[in-house]
Amino acid sequence: MAVHAFAKSTGRRNRVPGGVGQHTGWRAIMFLLPSWLLLAVFFFVPILLTFYFAFTNLSLTGTSSLATKFVGFQNFVSMFQDPTFRISVIKTIVFLLFSAVIGQQVLGLLLAVLMNERHRLFRSAIGVLVIAGWVTPEIVVAFIFYAFFSDGGTLDTFLSVFHVQPIAWLYAFPMVSVIIANIWHGTAFSMMVYQAALGDVPKEILESAAIDGAGRFQRFVRVTLPMIKGSIATNMMLITLQTLGVFTLIYSLTGGGPGNRTTTLPIYMYQQAFSDYQLGYGTAISLILLMIGIVASFVYLRMLKVKL
């Protein structure tokens, strides 16, 4: 929020004197041209190519790799007839809902609220611990949780103290395992967003609400939450997009298995494109993934009635 306000105010200040002349306009374009070119080459062309490949039978090997044909909507038609695709859409939504929307979002907010207005030492100690999960590279997180959940791993060893038989967590509860790993990895981001947002809530309003007789819970629900609505929407959108794209963590923990039990769309896309050699089909799946991201962002903005 603070950043937004600052950007707006400086923008206004720049525009006031003189306005933008024709001369400066050309100069601006000249300066922007290199970055536009780079964007075009490394960003827009790949996106357009993705759109194109999604409508072809491009493959990594075999005859169709040499004679790639335009197949219209064939990839999309077979995608919607493909039960594994339907399964992986459901898995993606489950993963998104529990690890991002519920897990990271709620836990992040809870941590931020609990840490709010506590002693600085306490805040930094807890903060460092949570952020440690976030700064750890995804592949390292995967290894940590592999060691934690694997047969006879940390969790089983710990539970054996209570005479619990060892459980192959990654095979018995694969989705729960990857969700927990992802929450551990990502919660710090939400926590930091909410810490900043809570810091922006004016103390005067909370105090006056308290004087009017609002309890702790009421103050939080009626005053704090509406005031940080913008941050909730932004955070929700960011972690949704992040979580939709999670590949490394799931792939290295379970490889999408056992069976299809953790095959989210990025995993399915990878399998189709690089293990099954169907590059065109894999690309079509990536477009659907993009659509889900766009739709989800749109829904959040509408639900919370926020303008970014």
In angstroms, the CA 3 to CA 230 distance is 13
DSSP 8-74: HHHHHHHHSSS---HHHHHHHHHHHHHHHHHHIIIIIHHHHHHHHHTTB---SSSHHHHS--B-TTH
Site for another protein in 80-109 (CB under 8 A): 81-84
Of the candidates 59, 92, 240, 283, which one interacts with another protein according to CB under 8 A? 59
Least distance from C-beta 66 to another protein, angstroms? 5
Instruction: State yes or no: residue 284 binds another protein (CB under 8 A).
Output: no
Q: Is 122 buried (19+), middle (13-18) or exposed (0-12) by CB count in 10 A?
A: exposed
What is the 3-state composition of the chain as percent helix, strand, coil, each rounded to the nearest 5?
A: 75, 0, 25
Instruction: State yes or no: residue 297 binds another protein (CB under 8 A).
Output: no
- Region near another protein per CB under 8 A, out of 18-26, 77-85, 223-231, 240-248: 77-85
Residue 134 or 146 having the CB closest to another protein:
146
Q: What are phi and psi of 51, to 5 degrees?
A: -60, -40
List CB contacts of 150: < 8 A, sequence separation 6 or more.
168, 169, 170
Least distance from C-beta 197 to another protein, angstroms? 29
- Region near another protein per CB under 8 A, out of 54-62, 111-119, 126-134, 189-197: 54-62
In angstroms, the CA 137 to CA 144 distance is 11
Of the candidates 38, 202, 275, 303, which one interacts with another protein according to CB under 8 A? 275
Instruction: State yes or no: residue 63 binds another protein (CB under 8 A).
Output: yes
Instruction: State yes or no: residue 308 binds another protein (CB under 8 A).
Output: no
Residue 168 or 209 having the CB closest to another protein:
168
Contact letters (x/-) for another protein, 171-210, by CB under 8 A? Answer: x---------------------------------------
Determine contact, residues 100/235, Cβ cutoff 8 Å: no
Instruction: State yes or no: residue 247 binds another protein (CB under 8 A).
Output: no
Residue 136 or 260 having the CB closest to another protein:
260
Tokens of 6: 């600052």
In angstroms, the CA 54 to CA 60 distance is 14
Q: How many CA atoms lie within 13 A of 259 on its CB side?
A: 10
- Region near another protein per CB under 8 A, out of 45-53, 94-102, 177-185, 221-229: 45-53
Q: Given the rule CB under 8 A, which residues bind another protein?
A: 48-49, 51-52, 55-56, 59-63, 65-68, 70, 78, 81-84, 150-151, 168, 170-171, 255-261, 271, 274-278, 281
